[in-house]
Amino acid sequence: MQAIQSLADIEDRYDALLCDVWGVIHDGAHAFDGAADALAGFAARRGPVLLISNSSQPHDVAERLLDRVSVPRAAWTQMITSGDATRDLLAARRNDGKAWAVGQPTTGAIYRDLGLSFTDDLGEAAFISCTGLRDDVNDHPEDYRPLFAPAAARGVPMICANPDIQAIAAGVKVWCGGSLARVYADLGGEVAMAGKPYPAIYDLAFRALGDIDRKRVLVIGDGAPTDIKGANAQGLDSLFIAGGLHGDAFAGEDLAAEAEAFLAEAGVSATYVMRALA
């Protein structure tokens, strides 16, 4: 693994970027200094910058947050979200019966125009749609285990729109939908996901990129089990942003050695590493 100081140092090796959002470009409240400039420079000099996010929101909703935290439009070409990819999974269940939804009310846009019917009674649900915890700060994923257990026992499948276990929001780690999916799977429940590291979101990304040499595509992200694992599965080079989600694991001076060991323990590997995108 090579430690680099600037995206510009390696940009001539790539024609497109697939870049994570939370923890790399912003934290939900503030854009990170230097990250947007680095992406805008690549977009101007090299090629498209696709933002691929595990947000459960459709891309048009997620894009509004970029505007609110002052990420300039020049820094990215297109956005693709786990919410976009998950809508196909939800639509395929339209005729199965009623869905039981868990998540915050603000994530409801994922259901727009899908024609789904819902129930407040998990006992009568045909499937579970999970966009996240009801309260991602005060709830804990294990709080949901007793609620989920009967549904898992009777074979009710779950569709989870955000595979992330945790994310950084305004400098604080919060629980994401993937943490509930992990509990449900531990109970023996069936779970389907379409975001990173699963193939569906990459299928959407490469459909958007068109005819391109995959060896000339670089993935940028801070999540070992999502961004880097997904890059490995797709056979893509990757730039690991060590100062993001796993930032507290890197305190020494040899960032490359620390990051390589950390990622190896997670069963993945990256091509490059930086503390923060610049």
Q: What is the pLDDT of residues 34-49, one digit of tens each?
A: 999 999 999 999 999 9
Indicate if the pLDDT at residue 247 is higher than 70: no
Average pLDDT, the chain: 93
Residue that finishes a domain, picked among 141, 164, 193: 193
Domain limits for position 254: 2-83+197-274
Residues contacting residue 194 through CB under 8 Å, at least 6 positions apart: 82, 85, 86, 88, 89, 161, 200, 201
- The CATH code of the domain that includes 155 is 3.40.50.1000
Residue entry with tokens 């005060």: 138
Q: Distance (Å, rounded) from C-alpha 233 to C-alpha 236?
A: 8
Q: Number of structural domains, the chain?
A: 2
pLDDT digits (tens, 9 = 90+) for 183-206: 999 999 999 999 999 999 999 999
Q: What is the pLDDT of residue 169?
A: 75
Question: How would you write 63-108 as a 3-class SS string?
Answer: HHHHHHCCCCHHHCCEEEEHHHHHHHHHHHCCCCCCEEEECCHHHH
Q: Find the farthest-apart pair of alpha carbons in the chain and give their distance in angstroms, rounded.
A: 56
Query: Do 101 and 46 have their domain in common?
Result: no
Indicate if the pLDDT at residue 249 is higher than 80: no
* Span 252-264, average pLDDT: 88
Cβ 98 vs Cβ 125: under 8 Å: yes
Cβ 125 vs Cβ 95: under 8 Å: no
Query: Do 32 and 161 have their domain in common?
Result: no
Say how many residues make up the chain.
278
Q: Distance (Å, rounded) from C-alpha 182 to C-alpha 185?
A: 5
pLDDT digits (tens, 9 = 90+) for 79-127: 999 999 999 999 999 999 999 999 988 878 999 999 999 999 999 999 9
